């Protein structure tokens, strides 16, 4: 697995330099489209995914490719996300931010076998920060091994992604969190949210929608750093399953606390 790391990182950095950043704050009106309500795609997303898919196929030809934009064009591709060896690609995570010309946004790649994430990479094209993790091999930021840490706030800091929940679910979460957590805005970018949990900026995150390109790399990164990211019932996140909801926390202690306060 280690021999994959350098070529994957080199590919991601090349895509960020050659495709993503030249389009940042430089998109024409007709280069931004809305796939669904509040779900954007740009020409940079499409070009980034093409280049990543070609490069990853060359690095590990036996792995199939599952990219966000390919799945948007053909949803049947997602049905095999849990079968066999797959590269999972998010060509630009946080496209809404990118299209608006503001941070954060990122590029995410994961290697998954039978629904289990073996390795994940998260690149911030603006700062160059690279987060990566290997199953059983720990989590790393810019070449230094990291351990997740709590924020140390009087109340745990929670970024709750509730906008994709039903109105009843949203109202219940808001009621349950009152007085239990310090609520902060979500970055609308999983490529930023997972590092925040590891770096002690946030303590708790809740995600309603759990598509593999948004969460395969991040869940591994958080768990390998000593935090915890699991389904709301405590079961592991398996790429390709159809469950909804993920709870992430900077420590197992805070995961248990949040699960009790928000979902018991």
The 10s digit of each residue's pLDDT in 228-261 is 999 999 999 999 998 999 999 999 999 999 999 9
The pLDDT, as a whole number, for residue 55 is: 98
The pLDDT, as a whole number, for residue 18 is: 98
- How far is residue 45 from each of residues 67, 160, 218, measured CA to CA in Å? 10, 26, 19
Confidence of residue 2 (pLDDT cuts 50, 70, 90): low
pTM: 0.96
Q: Which CATH architecture has domain 2-146?
A: 2-Layer Sandwich (3.30)
Specify the domain boundaries for CATH 3.30.540.10 within the chain: 2-146
Average pLDDT over residues 14-36: 93
Tens-digit pLDDT profile for residues 137-181: 999 999 999 999 999 999 999 999 877 788 888 889 989 999 999
Question: What does CATH list as the number for 157-263?
Answer: 3.40.190.80
Give the β-pairing of 157-160 and 228-230. unpaired
Specify the domain boundaries for CATH 3.40.190.80 within the chain: 157-263
- Of the listed ranges 93-102, 137-146, 167-176, 187-196, the least confidently predicted one is 167-176
- How far is residue 19 from each of residues 24, 115, 148, 164, measured CA to CA in Å? 9, 30, 32, 30
Whether 30 shows a pLDDT value over 90: the answer reads yes
The pLDDT, as a whole number, for residue 1 is: 56
Q: How far separated are the first and last CA of the chain, in Å rounded?
A: 39
Confidence of residue 201 (pLDDT cuts 50, 70, 90): very high
Average pLDDT, the chain: 95
The pLDDT, as a whole number, for residue 153 is: 92
């Amino acid at each position: 697995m280690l021999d994959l790391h350098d070529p994957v990182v080199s590919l991601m950095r090349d895509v960020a330099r050659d495709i993503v950043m030249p389009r940042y704050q430089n998109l024409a009106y007709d280069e931004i489209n809305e796939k669904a309500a509040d779900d954007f795609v740009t020409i940079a997303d499409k070009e980034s995914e093409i280049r990543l898919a070609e490069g990853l196929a060359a690095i590990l030809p036996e792995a199939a490719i599952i990219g966000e934009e390919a799945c948007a064009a053909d949803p049947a591709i997602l049905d095999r996300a849990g079968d066999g060896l797959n590269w999972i690609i998010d060509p630009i995570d946080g496209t809404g931010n990118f299209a608006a010309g503001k941070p954060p946004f990122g590029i995410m790649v994961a290697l998954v076998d039978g629904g289990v994430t073996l390795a994940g990479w998260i690149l911030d094209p603006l700062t160059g920060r690279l987060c990566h993790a290997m199953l059983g091999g720990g989590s790393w930021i810019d070449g230094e091994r990291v351990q997740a840490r709590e924020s140390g706030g009087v109340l745990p800091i929670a970024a709750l992604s509730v906008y994709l929940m039903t109105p009843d679910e949203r109202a219940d979460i808001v009621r349950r969190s009152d007085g239990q957590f310090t609520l902060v805005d979500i970055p609308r970018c999983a490529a930023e949210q997972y590092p925040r949990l590891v770096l002690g900026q946030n303590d708790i995150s809740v995600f309603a929608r759990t598509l593999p390109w948004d969460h395969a790399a991040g869940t591994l990164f958080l768990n390998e750093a000593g935090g915890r990211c699991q389904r709301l019932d405590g079961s592991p996140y398996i790429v390709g399953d159809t469950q909804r909801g993920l709870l992430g926390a900077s420590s197992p202690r805070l995961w248990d606390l949040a699960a009790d306060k928000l979902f018991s």
